C-alpha cells in the first residue's frame, strides 16, 4: 500500500509542480536559485519541527552517511550546471539525463551483483528510447532558432572542444546520480527505512551552500515583489503573483519529493528510478498539453514506447494471469 501511495504522491505532486515551475521560468528564466532555495528551506523547516523535534531527536542513520549522500547530490548538481555553462546543446543535456535508467541498471549489476530478466532489460531500453524521442523532439523545437547563429570556424572548434568536456561531465553526473540511488538503497538495508529523516537531512545539510547564491536570490526576490498583484482564491489575500507561483511550486515539490523518499525505503533503486523517469515523461507530456506546445507524431511514438516498456517492466500480464488462475486453484482445494 505504501509504494502505491508514494507513486500517487510523486505523480500528483510533480505533475502539478511542473505547471508552476514553467510559469515561474517563463517570466524569469534565471529564477532557479530562489526556487531551489525556497524548496530546500521549506522542507528543512518542516523536518526540523516535526521529524527532528527541534533538534532533540537523534538520527537513526549516522550524519556522516547523510553527508556523503548530500555531497553526491551537490556534485551532480554542480557538474550538470557546469555542462550547461559550457554551452552544450540542451537536447543532448536532456537526453543524457533521460539515460538514468540504463546507468542505474549497469551500476546495479556491477556493484550489487544484480541480475535481471530479458523482459526487464527490454523494458528499460524501450522506456529510455521513448523518453529520448520525446525530450529530443521537444528540446529541438525550443532550441532550433537559437542554435542557428553559429558562423565562425574558431567558435565552432571551441564549441566542439568544450563539448568534449561537457559530455564527460554529463556522463560523470549520470553515473554519480545512479550511484547515489544505490547508496541510499544499501543504507536503508543496513539501518532500516527512515524516509522522513532522510528527507530532512538531505535538504537541511546543503542550506549553508546557498550563502554563495545570496546575491542572485535577493535580486530575484526584488523582481518577484514587482510582479502584478494576484488575489489568492478562497483566502482573499492579495500578493505578487510570482510569490504565489513560488509558494505553490514549493508545496507541490514537497508532495513530490516526499513520495520519492518513501519509494526509496520501499522499493529497489531501479524501480525508484523508473518511477521518477516516468514522472519526468508524464510531466513533459502534461506541460506540452497544458501550455499547448506542439505534439508531433514523434511524441506519440515515444509515448507508445514508454507505455509498452512500463507494461513489460511491471509484468502486468503475469499478475493478470495469476489472478485468473487463482479461482481454479481454490476449486481444486
Are 35 and 254 a contacting pair, CB within 8 Å?
A: no
CB within 8 A of 7, min separation 6: which ones? 259, 263, 275
- Percentage of residues in the chain having pLDDT higher than 90: 19
197-255 pLDDT tens trace: 988 998 899 899 889 889 989 999 999 999 999 998 888 899 999 999 999 999 998 99
Q: How many residues are given for the chain?
A: 333
Please state whether 61 falls in left (phi above 0), alpha (psi between -120 and 50) or beta: beta
Locate 63 and state its grid cell: 550524519
| CA 241-40-277 angle, 5° bins | 90
pLDDT for 321 equals 44
Which tens digit of pLDDT belongs to each residue from 108-152?
888 878 888 887 888 878 877 877 777 677 656 555 544 444 445
Gap between the Cα atoms of 47 and 135, Å rounded: 34
Claim: this prediction has a pTM higher than 0.75? no
- Please state, as a whole number, how many other Cβ atoms lie within 10 Å of the Cβ of residue 29: 8
Amino acid at each position: 500500500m505504501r509504494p502505491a501511495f508514494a507513486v500517487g504522491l510523486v505523480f500528483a505532486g510533480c505533475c502539478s509542480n511542473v505547471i508552476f515551475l514553467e510559469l515561474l521560468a517563463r517570466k524569469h528564466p534565471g529564477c532557479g536559485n530562489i526556487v531551489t532555495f525556497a524548496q530546500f528551506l521549506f522542507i528543512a523547516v518542516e523536518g526540523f519541527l516535526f521529524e527532528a523535534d527541534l533538534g532533540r531527536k537523534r538520527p537513526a542513520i549516522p550524519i556522516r552517511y547523510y553527508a556523503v549522500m548530500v555531497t553526491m547530490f551537490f556534485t551532480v548538481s554542480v557538474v550538470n550546471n557546469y555542462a550547461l555553462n559550457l554551452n552544450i546543446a540542451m537536447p543532448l543535456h536532456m537526453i543524457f539525463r533521460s539515460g538514468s535508467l540504463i546507468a542505474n541498471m549497469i551500476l546495479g549489476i556491477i556493484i550489487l551483483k544484480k541480475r535481471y530478466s530479458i523482459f526487464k532489460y527490454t523494458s528499460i531500453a524501450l522506456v529510455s528510447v521513448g523518453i529520448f524521442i520525446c525530450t529530443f523532439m521537444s528540446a529541438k523545437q525550443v532550441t532550433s532558432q537559437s542554435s542557428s547563429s553559429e558562423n565562425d570556424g574558431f567558435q565552432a572548434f571551441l564549441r566542439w572542444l568544450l563539448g568534449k568536456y561537457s559530455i564527460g561531465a554529463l556522463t560523470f553526473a549520470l553515473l554519480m546520480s545512479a550511484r547515489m540511488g544505490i547508496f541510499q538503497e544499501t543504507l536503508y538495508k543496513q539501518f532500516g527505512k527512515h524516509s522522513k529523516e532522510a528527507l530532512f537531512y538531505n535538504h537541511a545539510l546543503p542550506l549553508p551552500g546557498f550563502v554563495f547564491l545570496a546575491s542572485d536570490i535577493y535580486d530575484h526576490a526584488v523582481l518577484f515583489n514587482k510582479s502584478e498583484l494576484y488575489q489568492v482564491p478562497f483566502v482573499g489575500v492579495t500578493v505578487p503573483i510570482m510569490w504565489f507561483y513560488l509558494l505553490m511550486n514549493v508545496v507541490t515539490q514537497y508532495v513530490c519529493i516526499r513520495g520519492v523518499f518513501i519509494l526509496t525505503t520501499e522499493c529497489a533503486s531501479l524501480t525508484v528510478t523508473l518511477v521518477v523517469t516516468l514522472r519526468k515523461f508524464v510531466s513533459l507530456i502534461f506541460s506540452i498539453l497544458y501550455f499547448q506546445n506542439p505534439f508531433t507524431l514523434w511524441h506519440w511514438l515515444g509515448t507508445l514506447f514508454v507505455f509498452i516498456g512500463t507494461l513489460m517492466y511491471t509484468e502486468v500480464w503475469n499478475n493478470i494471469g495469476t489472478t485468473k488462475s487463482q479461482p481454479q486453484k481454490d476449486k481444486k482445494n
